[in-house]
Amino acid sequence: MRNQIRYKKRFTKQPREKAVDEIASEQDIRKELVKLYREEFGKSPDILTSAPGRINLVGEHTDYNGGYVLPIAIDRRTYTAAGRRGGELFIAYSKELSKKTSFEIQPGKFEHSNFWVNYIKGACTLLSDMSPVKGVNFAIGSTVPRGSGLSSSAAYVVSIIEAVSRLHDIKLKDIEVPILAQRIENEFVGVQSGIMDPFVAKFARENNAILVDARSLEYKYVPISDRCSFLVCVTGVKRALATTEYNKRRQQCQIAVVGLAEKLNRNITSLRDVTLEELKCLKNDFDPTLYARSLHVITESQRALQTFAALENDDLEFVGKLMLESHLSLRSNYEVSSPELDAFVEIAEQSEGVYGARMTGAGFGGSAICLVDADREDELAIEIAAKYKARGFEGGYVFIARTGSGSKVEHA
């Protein structure tokens, strides 16, 4: 891949072609899920909730290091139709998995064969600590591709939290929803994820990116220019975070914090507390792997702030430059990219009409994103997908991602 960054100019309009991998309307998806609920449980649901998947524009692996992130919700969502059943039994049906299961709340009793149920059990268990939670029927459907780095799990668990809390009149503060969701992934699923994914699933605003300070949880929005669109390039390589090196990266950052505190002789609680100048001074006196991990986190957090400012100024060329810098750091310093992700980014960067590209999500497979000229989104989606397959990667596809909003609750 080229390490030289190039700035792209405004593009001339081209004839539109049909985009790939389009989805049904939100209204049709809701109707289908309500129909499925009736078929499974013999009555209508009491409530319908949903939460979005996301792409992360810049700010990868920074949230669990107390840094900044800049995600955007997309128009692919997880939907939960839920209804009261009383008693102690919970029954859940997953449309995508075509699986149905039942359980009772029993602390410490979690499933390995039906891994997806642990998210629901975690939500019901933690909410029952606040107020009694009785049996619920769930029908769950999603248009967020699973295992693709688009936060399908956070969309899923946030929609469940919204459903169970509303059914039992548990009045959560807005900020408590992502905090609970993070606890569920950490304590009940085994992924030491940060706050970003459930935060954007709750607080996202359509046509905006959201800059989140992962330490203070303060946030602010920035509009996305109508001159650009986002392509999501799904590699076809699924990754389950609990079985990859995700947790290992977090552990390495924690070890780096301890080592840096000792060498700098001051209190450091996260890599957020270390400046780039301080880190560079220790380059020859620090473990090379830990140095590289720290270098990524510190510079990536800075890139998130720079990207926010570039969006405010409608400087899409500079946004694209920062996206590529982010990818190169994730590839070389954090070592979480893959041949498939690198191929997608390289193909995109060589395509006229692309401002920038990078992997998105935790890595180890999943997806890449491209920031493209809005007038050429359809043809670029088709072109990039074709070139990816021409390199021998058969499992991937591309779709145009519209921006989405945070979680929604409605009576069915």
Contact 215, 66 (CB under 8 A): yes
3-class DSSP assignment, residue 118: helix
- Angle at Cα 51 formed by Cα 47 and Cα 52, nearest 5°? 150
Verify whether residue 197 is a known catalytic residue: yes
| Kind and range of the H or E run holding 190 | none
Q: Which of 60, 373, 74, 386 is nearest to 208 (CA)?
A: 74
Within a 10 A sphere around the Cβ of 14, how many other Cβ atoms?
14
Give me 350's structure tokens.
């060589």
Contact 249, 334 (CB under 8 A): yes
Within a 10 A sphere around the Cβ of 15, how many other Cβ atoms?
8
Contact 27, 34 (CB under 8 A): no
Give me 338's structure tokens.
């893959």
| Distance (Å, whole) CA 120 – CA 108 | 13
3-class DSSP assignment, residue 132: coil
φ, ψ (nearest 5 deg) of residue 326: -60, -45
Selected catalytic residue, list 46, 197, 315, 378: 197
188: left (phi > 0), else alpha (psi -120 to 50), else beta? alpha
| Distance (Å, whole) CA 296 – CA 33 | 42
Cα 36 to its chain centre, rounded Å, is 27
Contact 58, 326 (CB under 8 A): yes
Q: Which of 77, 72, 102 is nearest to 90 (CA)?
A: 102
Catalytic residue numbers read: 197
